[in-house]
Chains A and B, each alone.
Chain A
Amino acid sequence: MAEAVITAAPTEVSDAVNLKARLRSATARSRRNAFLLTAPLLIMLLITFIVPILDMLFRSIDDPIVGQAVPRAAIALEDWDSGAGLPSEEAYAALVADLAALRTGGSDGKALIGRFATRLNFEQPGVRSVITKTARKAPKLKEGPYKDALIKIHKKWGQPEIWAAIQRLSAPYTVVHFLASLDLHYDVEGSIVGQPEMRQVYITIWLRTLYISGLVTLLCILLGYPVAYLLATLPQRTSNLLIILVLLPFWTSLLVRTTSWIVVLGRNGVLLETLAWLGLVGDVDRPQLIYNMTGTIVAMTHILLPFMILPIYSVMRGISPTYMRAARSLGANPARAFYKVYLPQTVPGVGAGSILVFILAMGYYITPALVGGQNGTLISNFIAFHMQKSLNWGFAAALGAILLAGVLGLYWLYDRVVGVSNMKMG
């Protein structure tokens, strides 16, 4: 017996060592497999999502054009105090030299002049032609005084604003896009001031985006909560059928759902025609229901409603009906039992649905673009405008970065108030 134990022990030990090694290699393989399975998605996310976002965030502060286009002028303007009159003759000479070099520098140089002019134009509308005109004439200016010559070419060279803009933009990084996003800009002295009233656009847009998102979220709660309650309290078989009806819009293109609202709410649409037939609205002075804020709110509420219903429903499904029974057996009438016992338990669902709907609404683009008209467009529409039309990518990136920061801030706030771990999505 004792002999058997002695001979058995060493083999067990060596087996154990083997076992550990085998276990390690086996788990290593499964770890590697797990990584390989997710690798395509990871790589795709990295290339198509994370890198572009980082690139956009960088673009919102990246501003190399002026420094590249007019390096000599940038150096000459370094010590210039924009509050104390025009820059020195030296700076004029440097600018002329820079522009002349670009003008004679082949197609690359000419392209850079264009971008330089565009960049300055964002800062001071109307400056583009000044730059191009000056650049055309710069190679012919062989000797000074350059100051007078430039002012002769265009009188704006005799004003400090354009010089202040060049000075400010010659730094490789800038916050002007962020300032512009909030209707702020640098004045001639370089201090941050509000835009003139007629150029204040974005504060209004931001507030409108917040207002519409908040209102849509509220409407979704008001419309979605009773539906979720119905779904959660009906027998499973019936509620499954109704859930399909809730999910049905997901199977229809967003574009179709939005355009169908045009059919419903349009001037000669289903709704107004019916109301006119009933004599409730006149034939001439019909209310405008679409291509304005009303249209945006109606269409967005409709489209985002499932995102509210599903989290609330999933939370309600988990609330045992005995809570309501207990409350009633303790003497609470149905309304009080609901308000004191049921409602507080659904808060995680309402919170999850609200944050989902609010964040989606903040970034909504297609629907407001189609039915928003003048006063129903959101910040995303302006981001798209600057991406596609005005080609001011830096500014679009700054708007996007603020939107992203706002959404993250909201998420943080939600975590502090309700707790993300309390959130139930479905």
Chain B
Amino acid sequence: MPDSDIDTLVEFVGVQKSYDGETLVVKDLNLKVARGEFLTMLGPSGSGKTTVLMMVAGFEPATHGDILLDSVPINNVPPHKRGIGMVFQNYALFPHMTVFENLAFPLQVRRMGKAEVESKVQRALDMVRLGGFGHRRPGQLSGGQQQRVAVARALVFEPTLVLMDEPLGALDKNLREEMQYEIKHIHENLGVTMVYVTHDQSEALTMSNRIAVFDDGVIQQLATPESLYEMPENAFVAGFIGENNRLMGRVTEMNGQSCLVEVDAGGSVQALAINVDGVGTRTTLSLRPERVTINPAEGSCPNVFDAKVEELIYLGDHMRTRVSVCGHDDFIVKVPNSSGNVNLTPGEMVKVGWMAEDCRALDARE
């Protein structure tokens, strides 16, 4: 999505944030969120993603730069006048109010009539399939139900923008996956813009239109889930999203899109030059485990190396195979469990091979 085409709802212009006046938690953030988009901010803890969300919500002032909502700067608008829905990490359902009262709260604050409040609350509860739970208190609900109430409460006053701060973090795995689909469907049905913060990459990949990968206060890459996985632009993203084999080396030859890399432990690899400055610079080669072939046919791969099978883990649909190659003994190959595949045994010597376009030469950051 080129920036000029999108109908921007939220825009960050050179936003910085520091808590202590010494270190920047968010460093020069420039980001446009399109109307109706589901944008996820993904990153490890301390990467600044939650701080960004808090600045949008108005709970943290930006140290520098502007945040625009519908092209209007909102830096000086207090949180309760921003009209942004928010789902908090631990739901923040008011424990002394019933579910109905929780949902009615934002409507009563907006001085809506009683009948309107009731119908809107009921509609919101029905949307999250909790129609009959209005009279209960949050403490009487399960974690998943509380989560759905929190989502309904953030949506009941029909905000154009909804922020979610790791809303599924407290749920167990099955419930979390179920809720991922539920939130995704709500997003699709209502057409509301959602900005979602998580540290769970599978959650981000499942739900988002676009993902902004945060690290160290900077967006490392902003892309669709697919291109984020297929085409990581730096070593951090490659390592953070999905599984990744990395080989350290030095560029010896540049050839337009491709390059030749001398791996530290010996051997020369043909790779795509993505994030290298030129001949002589150090680089990290990134390679997805499912793109590696065991004993490839003669001449089918430009990169073929001898490898020793170290460990085999049977995972049903595939065999997770750890081999040592080019001096790395943590090189993973996913061997699909299809007929005609050879049975490997630990200690066996094999050949592994991969295509040059599957191997991305990225920056050398450890």
- Using CB atoms and an 8 Å cutoff, list the residues of chain A in contact with chain B: 320, 322-323, 325-334, 336-337, 340-341, 344-345
Chain A residues closer than 8 Å to B78, beta-carbon distance: 328, 333
Chain A residues closer than 8 Å to B95, beta-carbon distance: 345
* A329-B94 contact, Cβ under 8 Å, with A336-B109, A340-B105: no
0/1 interface trace, chain B 126-163, chain A, CB 8 Å (1 if under): 00000000000000000000000000011001000001
B96 adjacent to A331 (CB under 8 Å): no
A322 adjacent to B153 (CB under 8 Å): no
Residue of chain B at shortest CB distance from A336: B109
**Additional 14 contacts, C-beta under 8 A, given A328-B78, A330-B153, A332-B109:** A325-B79, A325-B86, A325-B88, A326-B94, A328-B79, A329-B80, A330-B85, A331-B80, A331-B106, A332-B80, A332-B105, A336-B109, A345-B94, A345-B96
The 6 closest A-B pairs by CB, nearest first: A326-B92, A330-B106, A329-B86, A322-B92, A328-B79, A331-B109
Task: For the complex formed, measure the closest distance between the CB of A79 and the CB atoms of chain B, giving whole angstroms.
Answer: 66
Chain B residues closer than 8 Å to A323, beta-carbon distance: 92, 94
A329 adjacent to B84 (CB under 8 Å): yes
Chain A residues closer than 8 Å to B105, beta-carbon distance: 327, 330, 332, 340
The answer, among A320, A332, A336, for a CB contact under 8 Å with B92, is A320
In angstroms, Cα B53 to Cα A325, docked, is 13
B239 adjacent to chain A (CB < 8 Å): no
B90 adjacent to A331 (CB under 8 Å): no
Q: Could you show 27 A-B contacts with beta carbons less than 8 Å apart? A: A320-B92, A322-B90, A323-B92, A323-B94, A325-B57, A325-B79, A326-B92, A327-B105, A328-B58, A328-B78, A328-B79, A329-B58, A329-B80, A329-B86, A329-B154, A329-B163, A330-B105, A330-B153, A330-B154, A331-B80, A331-B157, A332-B80, A332-B105, A332-B106, A333-B80, A336-B109, A340-B105
In angstroms, Cα B110 to Cα A336, docked, is 12
B181 adjacent to chain A (CB < 8 Å): no
Task: For the complex formed, measure the closest distance between the CB of A108 and the CB atoms of chain B, giving whole angstroms.
Answer: 68
**B34-89: which residues lie under 8 A (CB-CB) from chain A?**
57-59, 78-86, 88-89
B96 adjacent to A329 (CB under 8 Å): no
In angstroms, Cα B82 to Cα A325, docked, is 13
**B255-293: which residues lie under 8 A (CB-CB) from chain A?**
none
Chain A residues closer than 8 Å to B83, beta-carbon distance: 331
In angstroms, Cα B164 to Cα A329, docked, is 12
Chain B residues closer than 8 Å to A326, beta-carbon distance: 86, 88, 92-94
In angstroms, Cα B80 to Cα A334, docked, is 8
Chain B residues closer than 8 Å to A327, beta-carbon distance: 94, 105
Chain B residues closer than 8 Å to A332, beta-carbon distance: 80, 105-106, 109
Residue of chain B at shortest CB distance from A345: B96
**B91-117: which residues lie under 8 A (CB-CB) from chain A?**
92-96, 105-106, 109-110
Chain B residues closer than 8 Å to A334, beta-carbon distance: 80
A329 adjacent to B90 (CB under 8 Å): no
A329 adjacent to B109 (CB under 8 Å): no
Chain A residues closer than 8 Å to B109, beta-carbon distance: 330-332, 336
In angstroms, Cα B109 to Cα A327, docked, is 10
Chain B residues closer than 8 Å to A329, beta-carbon distance: 57-58, 79-80, 82, 84-86, 154, 163
In angstroms, Cα B166 to Cα A322, docked, is 14
A330 adjacent to B157 (CB under 8 Å): yes
A344 adjacent to B59 (CB under 8 Å): no
Residue of chain A at shortest CB distance from B82: A329
In angstroms, Cα B213 to Cα A136, docked, is 107
Residue of chain A at shortest CB distance from B110: A331
In angstroms, Cα B92 to Cα A341, docked, is 11
